[in-house]
Amino acid sequence: MDACCEALEFERGLIALKTPRGDTELPVAHNVQRDESGAYKVSRTLINRALLQGERAIVNNPATDLAGDLSESLVRYPICSALCVPILNREEILGVIYGDRVTQASSYQPADVDFLAAIAQQVGVGLANLRLFQEQMRAQNVYAELERARVIQQELLPAEPLRIGRVTVEGYNEPSSAVSGDYFDYFRLEDGRLGVIIADVTGHGLPAALVIASLHAAVRVALAADISLPDLAARINRHMYHSTASHVFITAVLGTIDPASGSVEYVSAGHPGPLLLGPEHVSVPGEENSLPLGIELEEQYRVRRIHVGEPAQAMLFYTDGLIEAVNPADEFLGLRPVIQALDRLEELSTTAMIGTTRSVVQRHLAGAATADDMTLLAVQFS
């Protein structure tokens, strides 16, 4: 602004910029006073024309140059001569540069307004670059926050398989974005059994991950040796019903495994049942499902019981990101290819089950990005 005032002999000057809301801010002002209302004593007519219509203006004599459009501000202050040009970035108006004289008029020529417009063009380039830089910094900050959230979420998941007696449990989570809306966990209970959970929150990304964090805390607090699974599911359901929005719900399997007897008990809240892997075939148990967590306050949950060898030696729980994986031909994977691949396994280890299932998904995707989170929870009885 100082350079413009010196080169064009402005006595006063300002740069006004448009804000994201569409109004203006004045980061730079030179020798411009305010009136009793707080408004700058400049020609709002010239500034508005430049801001709204992109017009350049040369005023050497307001009475003749603006005949029929002599605004109150030009009369009140009074302004002898003025130049005003828009600050442009391509076709977008970013602001204006305005300068005037109030003690003695000047004979501004078209070359003068061209000179001021050239300066405004450079200002426009600088503002556009600044905007890009600010957007990049915001994106980097968002990415850093998501990365921190991803690390925190990964720390909620078991870091390695859990082996107790004749039972091995292992999980795998593949988010479709930086953070996942799926969740799994397994841990030892005080009476020697294992507690297990696999869950899927509506949607994915950060909002779903926040719900998962709440679910993790609720399960760890509520799942104890002296609580029945239906009571546990009902308690967590009430917690989620009261603590989440009405459009948010969670499908989940909550269960316990007894390594001594080989008994598995679980309740399903709107979640697909496990695949049961026996010595000769893979089966899908038929079962009645309850509603997902967080939908109906007084929903009732029923226990499903499975014993080792009747008919399973291994189990694979999964979220719908597995069967809903979509290839480039817009085809869902479904369960059949997964069952066929697992049926050919010679070793029913947790690592083999998870690795084989992941390979089936990758072949189906054929390089396409997954649109949903996928989680696997494998249980092996030796």
pLDDT digits (tens, 9 = 90+) for 90-117: 888 899 999 988 888 788 899 999 999 9
d(CA 36, CA 213) in angstroms, rounded, equals 55
Does 183 lie in the same domain as 76? Answer: no
Does 215 lie in the same domain as 69? Answer: no
Phi, psi angles (nearest 5°) of residue 133: -65, -45
Scan for tokens 């980061």, then name that residue.
27
pLDDT, residue 115, reads: 92
Going by DSSP bridges, is the β-strand pair 263-269/303-308 parallel, antiparallel, or unpaired?
antiparallel
Domain boundary residue among 135, 170, 191?
135
Does 61 lie in the same domain as 165? Answer: no
Helix intervals (H) in the chain:
2-8, 44-53, 62-65, 72-76, 110-156, 206-222, 229-243, 320-323, 336-343, 350-365
Let me know if residue 107 belongs to a domain.
Answer: yes
Let me know if residue 240 belongs to a domain.
Answer: yes
Does 228 lie in the same domain as 163? Answer: yes
Q: What is the domain-level CATH number for residue 119?
A: 3.30.450.40
State the first-to-last Cα distance of the chain, in angstroms, to the nearest integer.
80
Does 342 lie in the same domain as 216? Answer: yes
Let me know if residue 146 belongs to a domain.
Answer: no
C-beta of residue 320 within 8 angstroms of C-beta of residue 278: no
Does 233 lie in the same domain as 331? Answer: yes
Confidence tier at 336 by pLDDT (50, 70, 90):
very high
Question: pTM for this structure?
Answer: 0.66
**Does residue 299 have a pLDDT over 70?**
yes
Does 173 lie in the same domain as 67? Answer: no
Domain boundary residue among 104, 135, 166?
135
Which of 311, 199, 164, 293 minimizes the C-alpha distance to 239?
293
Q: Which residues fall within 8 angstroms of residue 301, CB to CB, at 6 or more apart?
A: 229, 230, 233, 234, 237, 267, 268, 269, 290
Q: What is the domain-level CATH number for residue 201?
A: 3.60.40.10
Does 213 lie in the same domain as 93? Answer: no
380 by DSSP, 3-state: which? strand
Residue 351 burial class via C-beta count within 10 angstroms: exposed 0-12, middle 13-18, buried 19 and up: middle
Domain residue limits at 297: 155-381
Encode pLDDT of 205-262 as tens digits: 667 777 878 888 888 777 766 789 999 999 999 988 988 888 889 999 999 999 988 8
Let me know if residue 148 belongs to a domain.
Answer: no
Q: How many distinct structural domains can be found in the chain?
A: 2
Residue type, 338: V
Does 94 lie in the same domain as 165? Answer: no
Does 26 lie in the same domain as 162? Answer: no
Let me know if residue 187 belongs to a domain.
Answer: yes
